[in-house]
Structure 1
Amino acid sequence: MPGRTPGHRTPLWQQRLRASQLLEIAQGYPDFPVILEILRECLQDVYDLPALERLMRRLNGGEIQISDVTTTTPSPFATSLLFGYVAEFMYQSDAPLAERRASVLSLDSELLRNLLGQVDPGELLDPQVIRQVEEELQRLAPGRRAKGEEGLFDLLRELGPMTVEDLAQRHTGSSEEVASYLENLLAVKRIFPAMISGQERLACMDDAARLRDALGVRLPESLPEIYLHRVSYPLRDLFLRYLRAHALVTAEQLAHEFSLGIAIVEEQLQQLREQGLVMNLQQDIWVSDEVFRRLRLRSLQAAREATRPVAATTYARLLLERQGVLPATDGSPALFASTSPGVYEGVDGVMRVIEQLAGVGLPASLWESQILPARVRDYSSEMLDELLATGAVIWSGQKKLGEDDGLVALHLQEYAAESFTPAEADQANRSALQQAIVAVLADGGAWFAQQISQRIRDKIGESVDLSALQEALWALVWQGVITSDIWAPLRALTRSSSNARTSTRRSHRARRGRPVYAQPVSPLVSYNTPNLAGRWSLLQVEPLNDTERMLALAENMLDRYGIISRQAVIAENIPGGFPSMQTLCRSMEDSGRIMRGRFVEGLGGAQFAERLTIDRWRDLATQATQTRHYTPVALSANDPANVWGNLLPWPAHPATLVPTRRAGALVVVSSGKLLLYLAQGGKKMLVWQEKPQRFSTR
Structure 2
Amino acid sequence: TGAVPDDRTLVVERFRDEVGDWRVCLHTPFGGRVHAPLALALEAHLREHLGVDARALWTDDGIALHLPEVESPPALEMLILDPEEVQALVSTQLPASALFAARFRENAARSLLLPKRRPGQRTPLWQQRMRSAGLLQVAGQYPDFPILAETWREVMSDHFDMPALASLLRSIRSREIRVVAVDTERASPFASSILFSYVAEFMYEGDQPLAERRAQALTLDRDLLAELLGSEDLRELLDPEAIAAVELELQGLLPERFPRDADEAHDLLARLGDLSDAEARARGIGEDWLRALEKDRRAVAIRLAGEARWIAAEDAGRYREALGASLPVGLPDVFLEAGDAPLESLLRRYARTHVPFVTADPARRWVVAAHALEEALNRLAARGEVLAGEFRKAAEGREYCHPDVLRTLRRRSLAALRREVESVAPDALARFLPAWHGVGVRAGGVDRLMEVVFQLQALALPASVIERDVVASRVSGYTPRLLDELVSMGEVVWVGRGSLATSDGRVALYLRGEAPRLVPPPSNPPQTDIHVRIREHLGARGASFFRDVYNACGGGDEDVMLDALWDLVWSGEVTNDTFAPLRLLGPLARRPARKPRLPRLTQPRAAGRWSLVADLLGSGANATERLHAEAGVLLQRHGVLTRDAVIGEGWPGGFASLYPVLRAMEESGRIRRGYFVEGLGGSQFALPGAVDRLRSLRDAGRAQGAPLEKTGGIVALAATDPANAYGTVLPWPESDGRMSRAAGAYCVLDEGRLVLFLERGGRSLLTNGEVQLAHLQALIEIATNAGRVELQKVDGAPAMDSPLKSALREAGFTQTHRSLVAYGARG
TM-score > 0.5, shorter chain as reference: yes
1:300 deviates by 3.4
1:579 deviates by 2.6
Q: Distance in 2 between matches of 1:376 and 1:209?
A: 72
Q: Distance in 2 between matches of 1:396 and 1:493?
A: 15
Question: Is the Cα contact below 8 Å between 1:243 and 1:287 reproduced in 2?
Answer: no
Question: Is the Cα contact below 8 Å between 2:701 and 2:713 reproduced in 1?
Answer: no
In the alignment, structure 1 residue 553 sits paired with structure 2 residue 635: no
Q: Distance in 1 between matches of 2:323 and 2:426?
A: 62
In the alignment, structure 1 residue 619 sits paired with structure 2 residue 699: no
In the alignment, structure 1 residue 432 sits paired with structure 2 residue 432: no
Partner of 1:174: none
In the alignment, structure 1 residue 258 sits paired with structure 2 residue 373: no
Q: Distance in 2 between matches of 1:474 and 1:126?
A: 63
1:650 deviates by 1.1
Q: Distance in 2 between matches of 1:436 and 1:485?
A: 21
Partner of 1:357: 456
- Which amino acid in 1 is paired with 2:697? L
Q: Distance in 1 between matches of 2:449 and 2:349?
A: 60
Q: Tell me, what secondary structure is at the counterpart of 1:606?
A: coil
In the alignment, structure 1 residue 310 sits paired with structure 2 residue 424: yes
- Which amino acid in 2 is paired with 1:467? D
Aligned 1:441-590 pairs, distance under 5 A: 441-457=538-554, 463-494=555-586, 496=588, 500-503=592-595, 525-540=599-614, 541-542=617-618, 543-590=620-667
Question: Is the Cα contact below 8 Å between 1:484 and 1:535 reproduced in 2?
Answer: yes
- Which amino acid in 2 is paired with 1:304? R
- Which amino acid in 2 is paired with 1:368? E
Q: Which among 740, 748, 751 is matched to residue 660 of structure 1?
A: 740
Gaps of at least 5 residues in structure 2 are: 1-80, 89-232, 248-275, 280-303, 311-318, 327-342, 389-399, 779-827
Residues 583 and 376 of structure 1, relative CA distance in 2, 3 Å threshold: same
Partner of 2:7: none
Q: Distance in 2 between matches of 1:394 and 1:626?
A: 34
Q: Tell me, what secondary structure is at the counterpart of 2:754?
A: strand
Q: Tell me, what secondary structure is at the counterpart of 2:476?
A: coil
Q: Distance in 1 between matches of 2:633 and 2:497?
A: 19
Q: Distance in 2 between matches of 1:563 and 1:130?
A: 25
Partner of 1:516: none
Question: Is the Cα contact below 8 Å between 2:736 and 2:766 reproduced in 1?
Answer: no
Aligned 1:193-272 pairs, distance under 5 A: 208-210=307-309, 247-249=355-357, 254=362, 258-259=367-368
Question: Is the Cα contact below 8 Å between 2:242 and 2:409 reproduced in 1?
Answer: no
In the alignment, structure 1 residue 675 sits paired with structure 2 residue 755: yes
Q: Which among 473, 493, 501 is matched to residue 394 of structure 1?
A: 493
Q: Tell me, what secondary structure is at the counterpart of 1:675?
A: strand
1:453 deviates by 2.0
1:449 deviates by 1.1
1:407 deviates by 0.4
1:640 deviates by 1.0
Question: Is the Cα contact below 8 Å between 2:498 and 2:505 reproduced in 1?
Answer: yes
Q: Tell me, what secondary structure is at the counterpart of 2:697?
A: helix
Q: Distance in 2 between matches of 1:456 and 1:696?
A: 53
Q: Which among 319, 329, 333 is matched to residue 433 of structure 2?
A: 319
1:127 deviates by 4.9
Q: Distance in 2 between matches of 1:414 and 1:241?
A: 43
Kindly provide the CA deviation profile for residues 344-377 of structure 1, in whole angstroms up to 9, marking residues without a partner as x.
3122222222121111111111123211221122
Aligned 1:149-228 pairs, distance under 5 A: 208-210=307-309
1:210 deviates by 4.5
Question: Is the Cα contact below 8 Å between 1:134 and 1:246 reproduced in 2?
Answer: no
- Which amino acid in 2 is paired with 1:638? T
Residues 625 and 450 of structure 1, relative CA distance in 2, 3 Å threshold: closer
1:400 deviates by 0.6
Residues 247 and 390 of structure 1, relative CA distance in 2, 3 Å threshold: closer
Q: Tell me, what secondary structure is at the counterpart of 1:527?
A: helix
Aligned 1:617-656 pairs, distance under 5 A: 617-624=694-701, 630-651=712-733, 653=734, 655-656=735-736
Kindly provide the CA deviation profile for residues 113-157 of structure 1, in whole angstroms up to 9, marking residues without a partner as x.
xxxx9999xx9x9854747359979x9xxxxxxxxxxxxxxxxx9
Q: Distance in 2 between matches of 1:606 and 1:241?
A: 37
Q: Distance in 2 between matches of 1:249 and 1:469?
A: 76
Q: Which among 463, 468, 475 is matched to residue 369 of structure 1?
A: 468
Question: Is the Cα contact below 8 Å between 1:159 and 1:245 reproduced in 2?
Answer: no
Q: Distance in 1 between matches of 2:545 and 2:763?
A: 43
Question: Is the Cα contact below 8 Å between 1:557 and 1:563 reproduced in 2?
Answer: no
Residues 158 and 467 of structure 1, relative CA distance in 2, 3 Å threshold: same
Residues 244 and 486 of structure 1, relative CA distance in 2, 3 Å threshold: closer
Kindly provide the CA deviation profile for residues 264-296 of structure 1, in whole angstroms up to 9, marking residues without a partner as x.
999xx9xxxxxxxxxx9879835999x999997
Question: Is the Cα contact below 8 Å between 1:251 and 1:285 reproduced in 2?
Answer: no
Kindly provide the CA deviation profile for residues 379-414 of structure 1, in whole angstroms up to 9, marking residues without a partner as x.
112222222222222211111100110101111222
1:258 deviates by 3.4
1:485 deviates by 1.3
Residues 582 and 265 of structure 1, relative CA distance in 2, 3 Å threshold: farther
- Give percent identity, aligned residues only: 34
Query: Scaled by the length of structure 2, what TM-score is found?
Result: 0.47
Q: How many residue pairs get matched?
A: 453
1:416 deviates by 1.5
Query: Scaled by the length of structure 1, what TM-score is found?
Result: 0.55
Moved more, 542-551 or 685-694: 685-694
Q: Distance in 2 between matches of 1:391 and 1:244?
A: 49
1:322 deviates by 1.4
Using CA pairs under 8 Å that are at least 6 residues apart, name the structure with larger relative contact order, 1 or 2: 1
Aligned 1:9-158 pairs, distance under 5 A: 127-128=235-236, 130=238, 132=240
- Which amino acid in 1 is paired with 2:551? Q
Residues 635 and 573 of structure 1, relative CA distance in 2, 3 Å threshold: same
1:503 deviates by 4.2
Question: Is the Cα contact below 8 Å between 1:255 and 1:265 reproduced in 2?
Answer: no
Kindly provide the CA deviation profile for residues 322-363 of structure 1, in whole angstroms up to 9, marking residues without a partner as x.
112134xxxxxxxxxxxxxxx431222222221211111111
Q: Distance in 2 between matches of 1:456 and 1:694?
A: 56
Question: Is the Cα contact below 8 Å between 2:720 and 2:743 reproduced in 1?
Answer: yes
Q: Tell me, what secondary structure is at the counterpart of 1:611?
A: coil
Q: Which among 391, 402, 415 is matched to residue 300 of structure 1?
A: 415
Residues 490 and 626 of structure 1, relative CA distance in 2, 3 Å threshold: closer
Q: Distance in 1 between matches of 2:387 and 2:560?
A: 68
1:418 deviates by 3.5
Residues 634 and 443 of structure 1, relative CA distance in 2, 3 Å threshold: same
Q: What's the Cα RMSD here?
A: 4.9
Question: Is the Cα contact below 8 Å between 2:546 and 2:610 reproduced in 1?
Answer: yes
Kindly provide the CA deviation profile for residues 503-526 of structure 1, in whole angstroms up to 9, marking residues without a partner as x.
456xxxxxxxxxxxxxxx9xxx33
Question: Is the Cα contact below 8 Å between 2:640 and 2:685 reproduced in 1?
Answer: yes
